[in-house]
Structure 1
Amino acid sequence: MSELPSTIKHFFPPATSVSGISTVMSPQGGVRAVAQAVIQCVGGLKVGAVGPGVVYATSDIEFHKALRLDREVVGRAWRRQLGELMSVGDAHHAHIMLFVDSNASFYAFTDPDGKLYSLGRFAQAMEALLLGLDYGMPLEADG
């Protein structure tokens, strides 16, 4: 999905286009290129608010203005199964770290309990966080 669905479009500025996120995929530069595409499309944006949601609480999301290489250590526990992950933002008053992989799939790392959830593509991930949808089961860390 290259554009925002109507369920969350109102959270983003009218001219926001996320088509650049889904078009950059491995091997065209790997995870760094995907993370950079996210930052080019939505970097610096603050959207949403914490409150009651459908299943979980809704989240605020703040996208990084630049790459955050200091956070790559968080994703190492899942590196064998997912490859390298790069941080592109924070959610839920910075209690959730938002990561992306080289295939432009997004993940939520819930800092309080150390769990990682696969959220899908950008629009799907934003719906889960902004509307408080079910994240599904957490991924098992590499053995």
Structure 2
Amino acid sequence: MMTLPPAVLPIFAAAGWFPGRRVHLPPTVPASHPVAAILSEFHGLKVGELGPGIECARSDVSFWWPPDEGYEEISEIGALLQTELACFASAHNSHESLYVDGEGRVFVVSPEMPGIGFMGRNFGEAMERALLGLKASPLLLPSHDKVSWYGEVLLRGDPQILSIEKLMTG
């Protein structure tokens, strides 16, 4: 069972989730990857709604396999972290895609907001950020000099940017 923070439990319950929920997964879902644990519990649900949040807009999250694939940034971050990232949901009215890596860390990518965001070290933290409207941390990939983040252009060296090295060391 995935651990959900108390603040988002009512949001998931309103969408039809209940503790112990299990659904059959398509055979293409990699069973040994954290994506399988997420989808076995939440596949087919749409949770949350758009609106004002604590630091930024709240999001909705729609769980399905595979909602989106093929972002260059995802391939690059997977290579840097030496892990495979798997998409498990679309968010923000399908304008964003959520990915989980082999360690269970969650990332967000949007074609409308160049760059990649770090949503959380685990699924629960990521859901709290998305559903309550807490900002993700911008990641600046080595192949980029800047990232556009929540309407700001952040340059390499900006303290708001989470480096790959810091992400890897905790």
How does the TM-score come out when normalised to structure 2? 0.67
CA distance in 2 between counterparts of 1:84 and 1:132 reads 27
Work out whether residues 52 and 58 of structure 2, in 8 Å CA contact, stay in contact via their aligned partners in 1: yes
Work out whether residues 109 and 116 of structure 1, in 8 Å CA contact, stay in contact via their aligned partners in 2: yes
Flag the 1:85–1:51 CA change in 2: closer, same or farther, 3 A.
same
- Counterpart residue number, 1:11: 11
Deviates more, 1:73-82 or 1:87-96: 73-82
Work out whether residues 72 and 85 of structure 1, in 8 Å CA contact, stay in contact via their aligned partners in 2: no
CA distance in 1 between counterparts of 2:91 and 2:48 reads 9
Percent identity at matched positions? 30
Rg larger in structure: 2
| Aligned mate of 1:71, from 53, 65, 69 | 69
Quote how far apart the aligned CAs of 1:39 are.
Answer: 1.1
CA distance in 2 between counterparts of 1:17 and 1:132 reads 26
Work out whether residues 66 and 87 of structure 2, in 8 Å CA contact, stay in contact via their aligned partners in 1: yes
How does the TM-score come out when normalised to structure 1? 0.79
- Counterpart residue number, 1:135: 136
Work out whether residues 66 and 89 of structure 2, in 8 Å CA contact, stay in contact via their aligned partners in 1: no
User: For this pair of structures, how many residues does the alignment match?
Assistant: 128
Flag the 1:17–1:130 CA change in 2: closer, same or farther, 3 A.
farther
Higher relative contact order (CA 8 A, sep 6+): 1
Flag the 1:86–1:72 CA change in 2: closer, same or farther, 3 A.
farther
Quote how far apart the aligned CAs of 1:51 are.
Answer: 0.3
Deviations 1:14-35 (A, max 9, x none): 52459xxxxxxxxx93xxx221
Quote how far apart the aligned CAs of 1:96 are.
Answer: 1.1
Flag the 1:43–1:105 CA change in 2: closer, same or farther, 3 A.
same
Q: CA RMSD in A?
A: 2.2
Structure with a larger share of its residues in helix: 1
Indicate whether 1:124 and 2:125 are aligned.
Answer: yes
Work out whether residues 56 and 133 of structure 1, in 8 Å CA contact, stay in contact via their aligned partners in 2: yes
- Counterpart residue number, 1:94: 94
Quote how far apart the aligned CAs of 1:12 are.
Answer: 1.0
Q: Aligned runs of 1:17-32 on 2, under 5 Å?
A: 17=20, 29=32
CA distance in 1 between counterparts of 2:37 and 2:58 reads 25
- Counterpart residue number, 1:105: 105
**Aligned to 1:123, what secondary structure does the other structure show?**
helix
